[in-house]
Chains A and B, each alone.
Chain A
Amino acid sequence: MKKLLVVTVACAVVVFAVGPAFAAMGQGRQNTGCGLGALAWQGKADSTLFQAFQATTNGTFGSQTFGITSGTSDCAQPAKFVSNQRTNEFVVANMDNLAKDIARGQGETLEAFADLLQVPAEQRAEFYQKLQTSFAKIFTSQDVVLANVVDNVATVSAKN
């Protein structure tokens, strides 16, 4: 019984203290993809204890001190649109939330997207509705990437 207990405790200690060392590590800000599901965990480990300490000491992993851009260098760039770099970065970093907002016809991510595309305020309602009804034409498959999404938005919003 004693032995069993000691072993149990020892295991618990090992799991708590060493387990996080196995956690996935992010070196710098990874390019996590150009499409849906490109969620950047940025080396955040799963262990509660580690997360607790991480929050405690406020670490970043591999700092890029003026990371004002998110990077889309590995992504094929849209062709049709007056696509500026900021729009592309925004779409890459927020594609899941943007897709969700377009499907719902409203939301903050969609508003920010319209800001970037400089859609005039009076045309917003129509723009949002158009995107919502054309959702399947914008997000054509689960493998859709930046270039498709932005180009498809261009096509869809150009049509009357």
Chain B
Amino acid sequence: MRFSAFLFAMVYGTSRPVYFFFVILSIYFFLVPVSESLAADQSYLDALLKSAREQRLSEDRYWDVLLHYRRHGSGRKSLIDDPRFFLAPDGKTDPVAELEATLKSFFQAEQKDGDHPRCRFVARYAWLKEKLGVDELRLPAPACTEYNNAMERVNPHAAALIFPTTLNNSPASMFGHTLIRIDSKNQNELLSYAATYAADATDTNGLLYAFKGIFGYYHGYYTILPYYEKVAEYSNIEHRDIWEYKLDLTEEEVHRMVMHAWELRDIYSDYYFFDENCSFDLLLLLEAARPSLHLSDVFWDNKARFWVIPIDTIRAVEESGLITKETYRPSQSTRIMAIAVRMKKEDWKVALDVVKGKTSPQVITDMEMAPEEKMKVLDLSADLLQYRYSRKEMTKDDYLKRFLPVLTARSTLGKQDADVYAITPPTPPEQGHLSGRLSLGPGYRTDSFFTEIEWRSAYHDVLDYDEGYTEGAQVNFFNLKGRYYFKEDSLKLQQLRFIDIFSLSPRNTFFKPVSWKVNTGFDRELFRDGTEHLVYRINPGGGFSYKNDIFGISYAMFETDLTFSNALKQNYALGFGGEAGFIKKMTDLWKMSLSAEGIFYEAGDEHHKMKASWANSFKVSTNNSILLSLSREKTFDRYQTEGELLWRMYL
């Protein structure tokens, strides 16, 4: 174009025929190349479209994977809700139109650096290029600086699945998190990147947060962050141990996965805490790495199970044979205990005095003590300071004033053996019992035998075996109990608990957590007329627990109990009381609990209730156990005794 304008100017003013000639020439220069290239573009696009149709690429498994298409009625529909993800107006539901629009978009003129569809949809481009043998020279070559820089930084080589275990004292984090770590070659894993899928939430009100999370009011985004940020968050702030599972993916596959994550950058899908959640959506990334994996289908197609728990996705990945090696990354609180158990108890106080600022670290270095013991005291102090600061139990100023002198003193003492605080990894979570539970067996209540059947959707309770789980952290999610009474020949709903959290976090010299519980749902209870009625119950409580060799975990909690039933006077009863007991693993195959509870209902239907329970769980195998329980209860001045023997299967 510039050349023709130049010619035009040069010949302006010369004789007419010459002028004419040059005008025609310049028009030729002006128009022909453009129309010719347009025509060439069109014919090349047509050829590509034809080839794509012949190969039925829009029906290819990988196209489904890249666009997140799922069967929907007779057609297909993408799980992605952001219109910017689709190049065709009806791309969400029309895979053919989307594929053709994608091909067409590659011919778009160059745009602002990074805006071109080839920069935005890198995985689609790479796949179509390979399938159709696209000649890159015949396409515009847009600049994709940001993408290239990101790829250079992340430098994908290998990948690992990352699973932070239950948040301490927050059993609901069973729906915790999984992420994928992208490793580059010959580099410390802390320098890797982590791909994660999360809800973009701004509410800090727990209930609103949960509501919106459950019903899809948040947008979910894929993110890629430095792995050290996630490690800091889980290890140093939330104090969760992390399991890392190396994946058997080739460099090319990992590269594809990162390209797909890039495509999903800033693209939202509605986030559903139960199914379209972090763990489910990460499976889609793994499928983008290797489309022959069908990891997500199990969860999506099985509508009987409408939730996806992270640990179940780990199991699915393990079953696909993708896991080559597992590593345990203990959290800071686990590491603190690993140091403490290697010290004399009287040295604990020395370390705590340093933490509290009562003893100067310099005093430790001058003390008469073996150098190794001094190192332990200062190592424990440093970690405890970090722990307390992360828990906001001390100000930044106090923290800095003590942290740095502790390290300065420590640096003068030399090095310990690398494995002096070695931690034996516990049973990995995927080797624990499965999270669903079916129980069946006979029982006796007051004067009638019954058969009980119980179904728990998820996840773990204090009498289940703790291998792979956090000891003392109970979450029973949707627990349904039915009974058939022989004497009355009647089938009755005994219990339907929507949620039953019982979180025992033992206190010790270093950690002072609160234990708490909350449960809600229907229970069948004995009334003053001697008959049983269903009540709806909300029962929160809080207290302390401790752990020792004699009683295992012992606890005491205050609680309030609010029940509703039309069999109650004024239709409700509100009481205050408490519960105490202990849970102990007597042998490897026998776990026992003993508890007593008393509640005084002072509002609504005034009465009181006392209950003592004794339960035993015998392990048969990882996924089978036997429960033997006995309880005696006094309510409305009526006594009731109950015994049960249940076979429990985890599935």
Given contacts A66-B262, A104-B410, contact A39 B236 (CB under 8 A): yes
In the bound assembly, the distance between CA atoms of A45 and B209 in angstroms comes to: 12
The reply to whether A139 and B407 form a contact with Cβ atoms under 8 Å apart is yes
B residues less than 8 Å from A108 (CB atoms) = 188, 190
Does A94 lie at the interface of the complex (its beta carbon under 8 Å from any beta carbon of B)? yes
Pick from B209, B223, B390: contact of A60, CB under 8 Å: B223
A residues less than 8 Å from B177 (CB atoms) = 55, 58
The reply to whether A40 and B415 form a contact with Cβ atoms under 8 Å apart is no
Q: Which of A83-126 contact B (CB under 8 A)?
A: 86, 89-90, 93-94, 96-97, 99-100, 102-106, 108-109, 111-112, 115-116
Pick from A9, A39, A139: contact of B389, CB under 8 Å: A39
In the bound assembly, the distance between CA atoms of A55 and B166 in angstroms comes to: 9
The reply to whether B602 and A68 form a contact with Cβ atoms under 8 Å apart is no
Which residue of the partner chain A has the closest CB to B200? A63
The reply to whether A9 and B167 form a contact with Cβ atoms under 8 Å apart is no
The reply to whether A68 and B154 form a contact with Cβ atoms under 8 Å apart is yes
Which residue of the partner chain B has the closest CB to A42? B233
The reply to whether A90 and B228 form a contact with Cβ atoms under 8 Å apart is yes
Map CB proximity to A onto B239-279 as digits: 1 under 8 Å, 0 otherwise.
00000000000000000000000101110000101000110
Does A57 lie at the interface of the complex (its beta carbon under 8 Å from any beta carbon of B)? yes
Q: How far is the CB of A131 from chain B (nearest CB, A)?
A: 9
The reply to whether B273 and A93 form a contact with Cβ atoms under 8 Å apart is no
Map CB proximity to B onto A13-53 as digits: 1 under 8 Å, 0 otherwise.
00011101101010000000000110111111111111111
Q: How far is the CB of A104 from chain B (nearest CB, A)?
A: 6
Q: How far is the CB of B390 from chain A (nearest CB, A)?
A: 6
In the bound assembly, the distance between CA atoms of A122 and B214 in angstroms comes to: 53
How many cross-chain pairs have Cβ atoms below 8 Å apart between A and B?
A: 247
The reply to whether B223 and A56 form a contact with Cβ atoms under 8 Å apart is no
Given contacts A36-B400, A39-B237, contact A48 B193 (CB under 8 A): no
Q: Which of B403-425 contact A (CB under 8 A)?
A: 403-404, 407-408, 410-412, 414-416, 418
Contact count band on A? 35 or more
In the bound assembly, the distance between CA atoms of A47 and B562 in angstroms comes to: 22
The reply to whether A20 and B205 form a contact with Cβ atoms under 8 Å apart is yes
The reply to whether B386 and A96 form a contact with Cβ atoms under 8 Å apart is yes
The reply to whether A53 and B206 form a contact with Cβ atoms under 8 Å apart is yes
Does A73 lie at the interface of the complex (its beta carbon under 8 Å from any beta carbon of B)? no
Q: How far is the CB of B193 from chain A (nearest CB, A)?
A: 6
In the bound assembly, the distance between CA atoms of A94 and B232 in angstroms comes to: 8
In the bound assembly, the distance between CA atoms of A124 and B348 in angstroms comes to: 33
The reply to whether B223 and A65 form a contact with Cβ atoms under 8 Å apart is yes
Does B589 lie at the interface of the complex (its beta carbon under 8 Å from any beta carbon of A)? no
Q: Which of A113-148 contact B (CB under 8 A)?
A: 115-116, 129, 132-133, 135-136, 139, 141-142
Does A158 lie at the interface of the complex (its beta carbon under 8 Å from any beta carbon of B)? no
The reply to whether B188 and A115 form a contact with Cβ atoms under 8 Å apart is yes
A residues less than 8 Å from B586 (CB atoms) = none
A residues less than 8 Å from B416 (CB atoms) = 104, 106
Map CB proximity to A onto B377-416 as digits: 1 under 8 Å, 0 otherwise.
0010011001001101000100111011001101110111
Which residue of the partner chain B has the closest CB to A89? B226
Main secondary structure of the interface of A (DSSP, over half): helix
The reply to whether A17 and B191 form a contact with Cβ atoms under 8 Å apart is no
A residues less than 8 Å from B412 (CB atoms) = 135
The reply to whether B222 and A65 form a contact with Cβ atoms under 8 Å apart is yes
The reply to whether A45 and B204 form a contact with Cβ atoms under 8 Å apart is yes
The reply to whether B213 and A66 form a contact with Cβ atoms under 8 Å apart is no
A residues less than 8 Å from B236 (CB atoms) = 39, 97
Q: How far is the CB of B383 from chain A (nearest CB, A)?
A: 8
Does A70 lie at the interface of the complex (its beta carbon under 8 Å from any beta carbon of B)? yes
Q: How far is the CB of B306 from chain A (nearest CB, A)?
A: 15
Q: Which of B132-157 contact A (CB under 8 A)?
A: 150, 153-154
In the bound assembly, the distance between CA atoms of A68 and B262 in angstroms comes to: 12
Does B372 lie at the interface of the complex (its beta carbon under 8 Å from any beta carbon of A)? no
Does B576 lie at the interface of the complex (its beta carbon under 8 Å from any beta carbon of A)? yes
Of the listed stretches B18-26, B118-126, B168-176, chain A binds: B168-176
Contact count band on B? 35 or more
Which residue of the partner chain B has the closest CB to A94? B228
In the bound assembly, the distance between CA atoms of A132 and B602 in angstroms comes to: 65
Q: How far is the CB of A17 from chain B (nearest CB, A)?
A: 5
The reply to whether B562 and A9 form a contact with Cβ atoms under 8 Å apart is yes
Q: How far is the CB of B573 from chain A (nearest CB, A)?
A: 11
Given contacts A5-B576, A17-B206, A68-B226, contact A53 B172 (CB under 8 A): yes
Which residue of the partner chain B has the closest CB to A50? B206
B residues less than 8 Å from A17 (CB atoms) = 205-207
Q: How far is the CB of A72 from chain B (nearest CB, A)?
A: 12
In the bound assembly, the distance between CA atoms of A39 and B199 in angstroms comes to: 22
Q: How far is the CB of B310 from chain A (nearest CB, A)?
A: 9
Given contacts A45-B204, A50-B204, A93-B232, contact A58 B403 (CB under 8 A): no
Given contacts A55-B172, A55-B177, contact A112 B188 (CB under 8 A): yes
The reply to whether A67 and B200 form a contact with Cβ atoms under 8 Å apart is no
Which residue of the partner chain A has the closest CB to B378? A103
The reply to whether A105 and B191 form a contact with Cβ atoms under 8 Å apart is no
Q: How far is the CB of B473 from chain A (nearest CB, A)?
A: 11
In the bound assembly, the distance between CA atoms of A68 and B172 in angstroms comes to: 29
Pick from B188, B210, B403, B415: contact of A37, CB under 8 Å: B403
Pick from B206, B232, B400: contact of A20, CB under 8 Å: B206
In the bound assembly, the distance between CA atoms of A74 and B411 in angstroms comes to: 30
Q: How far is the CB of B388 from chain A (nearest CB, A)?
A: 11
Which residue of the partner chain B has the closest CB to A115? B188
The reply to whether A60 and B200 form a contact with Cβ atoms under 8 Å apart is yes
Which residue of the partner chain A has the closest CB to B409? A103
| 3 A-B pairs with least C-beta separation | A57-B213, A55-B173, A135-B411
Since A5-B603, A65-B224, A100-B383 are in contact, a sample of 6 more A-B pairs with Cβ atoms closer than 8 Å, ordered by chain A residue number, is: A5-B574, A61-B200, A68-B224, A104-B375, A132-B411, A132-B414
B residues sitting closer than 8 Å to A (CB atoms) are 150, 153-154, 167, 169-173, 175-177, 187-188, 190-191, 193, 197-202, 204-207, 209-210, 212-214, 218, 221-226, 228-229, 232-233, 236-238, 262, 264-266, 271, 273, 277-278, 375, 379, 382-383, 386, 389-390, 392, 396, 399-401, 403-404, 407-408, 410-412, 414-416, 418, 501, 514, 516, 540, 560, 562, 574-576, 602-603
